[in-house]
A and B are shown apart, each in its own frame.
Chain A
Amino acid sequence: MDGNKDFLEFVYSFNESMESKDVKLVYKGEITHQVTKAFTSITETNMMVAEESNSVQKKVFHVIVEFLQNISKHADYMTNEESHEEGSGVFLLCKDDDNYVITTGNVLLKEKENAIANVLDKINSLDKEGLKALYKQQIKEGRLSEKGGAGLGFIDIAKKTGNSLDYKFVPINNEFSFFIISSTISRTQNFD
């Protein structure tokens, strides 16, 4: 049973890898409303035990909700691979002494890359006042999309965390990329 032994070794190194990156919670699969509720609930309990400030707790909660909602509404899927179901992706919550870092990844049609990159570059170029103005413009003009998103999530996350959104598109093939986005919430810093 060499294959099985390899797998058990893999589990050990997987655990080591997660520890080395301070990963506290990881999930891969379909993102449903129930999954979102489960993660926010676990994280809230952990943050209360860790005695995080109300402000940090609410910001972490908000980023989890918005990131997971994005995946459930916008992730694409590759029909030739069973492992990629609609609305599925990977979710990681990391915590070190200074920060919470929440990261998600999902399959995306390459043709959507430019539009998303443009929005994120614009958000990352703005200061707090600029983000407030963009938020106001978007909430007034943006209609709820067919899938229920208001196009406000990324803007609001940048505004509330005070940190830029790191992102990357990793090419999978000619048609699809893997979209990774990460938000950092300071555990200590004042947000003003």
Chain B
Amino acid sequence: MEVIKIVGTDDTPSVTLDVANEIFEISGRSLPEDVAVFYEPILDWIDRYSEEASGKTIFNFKLVYFNTASSKMILDILLKLEEMHEAGKDVLVRWHYPEDDEDMEEAGEEYADIVDVPFEQISYSLD
């Protein structure tokens, strides 16, 4: 599959979807002007990937900020990962949050409650 590699800006996240190197990651800030336009290619990619995925998929979210319009798109990604999990694929979501960011930690807890997929919360230091 083609590699998706998007370099982040101050309002769009960095995205790497790379099967060969087993990197699935969204990080940074997400408040794009048009969330649908930004996230559609990512959702399409995961749709195609879910059919051919064979190894373990560890999907990393390492966001420092996302607006509520993005939160719905993040849920859509997680729902696709849930479908993969339900289809018997080996999927793990890792939700990274800055150690002093309770809102981002809580956002991870809420997603973990909503979707049925193996989910790990990992705090990291910003220093």
- Answer yes or no: B71 CB below 8 A from chain A CBs: yes
User: Which A residues from 136 to 170 make CB contacts under 8 A with B?
Assistant: 136, 139-140, 142, 144, 148-150, 152-153, 156, 160
Q: How far is the CB of A74 from chain B (nearest CB, A)?
A: 13
Please report whether the interface of chain A is mostly helix, strand, loop or mixed according to DSSP. helix
Q: How far is the CB of A129 from chain B (nearest CB, A)?
A: 12
Q: A37-B10, A61-B65 are contacts. A148–B35 as well, Cβ < 8 Å?
A: yes
Please report whether the interface of chain B is mostly helix, strand, loop or mixed according to DSSP. helix
Specify which of A66, A139, A156 is in contact with B75 (CB 8 Å cutoff): A139
A66 pairs with B68, CB closer than 8 A? yes
A55 pairs with B101, CB closer than 8 A? yes
- Answer yes or no: B110 CB below 8 A from chain A CBs: yes
User: Which A residues from 62 to 98 make CB contacts under 8 A with B?
Assistant: 62, 65-66, 69
Specify which of A55, A140, A148, A153 is in contact with B34 (CB 8 Å cutoff): A148
B113 pairs with A144, CB closer than 8 A? no
A69 pairs with B10, CB closer than 8 A? no
B102 pairs with A55, CB closer than 8 A? yes
Q: Which residues of B contact A61 (CB under 8 A)?
A: 65
Q: A33-B33, A58-B65, A142-B72 are contacts. A192–B113 as well, Cβ < 8 Å?
A: no
- Answer yes or no: B3 CB below 8 A from chain A CBs: no
Q: Which residues of A contact B71 (CB under 8 A)?
A: 139, 150, 152, 156
Chain A interface residue count, Cβ-Cβ cutoff 8 angstroms: 28
A37 pairs with B69, CB closer than 8 A? no
User: Which A residues from 39 to 77 make CB contacts under 8 A with B?
Assistant: 41, 54-55, 58-59, 61-62, 65-66, 69
A62 pairs with B65, CB closer than 8 A? yes
- Answer yes or no: B58 CB below 8 A from chain A CBs: no
Residue of B nearest to A44 (CB): B10
Q: A33 CA to B36 CA in the complex, in Å?
A: 15
Kindly supply a per-residue 1/0 record for chain A positions 123-137, scoring 1 wherever the CB is within 8 Å of any chain B CB and 0 otherwise: 000000000100110
Q: A33-B33, A136-B114 are contacts. A150–B10 as well, Cβ < 8 Å?
A: no
Specify which of A148, A150, A191 is in contact with B102 (CB 8 Å cutoff): A191
B67 pairs with A62, CB closer than 8 A? yes
Q: How far is the CB of B113 from chain A (nearest CB, A)?
A: 7
- Answer yes or no: B100 CB below 8 A from chain A CBs: yes
Q: A54-B101, A55-B102, A61-B65 are contacts. A152–B110 as well, Cβ < 8 Å?
A: no
7 A-B pairs (CB sep. < 8 Å)? A55-B100, A58-B65, A66-B67, A66-B68, A69-B69, A136-B114, A148-B36
Give 19 A-B pairs besides A152-B72, A160-B103 with Cβ atoms closer than 8 angstroms: A33-B11, A37-B11, A54-B98, A55-B101, A58-B101, A58-B103, A62-B67, A65-B67, A69-B67, A136-B110, A139-B75, A140-B75, A140-B114, A144-B36, A144-B69, A148-B35, A149-B69, A152-B71, A192-B102
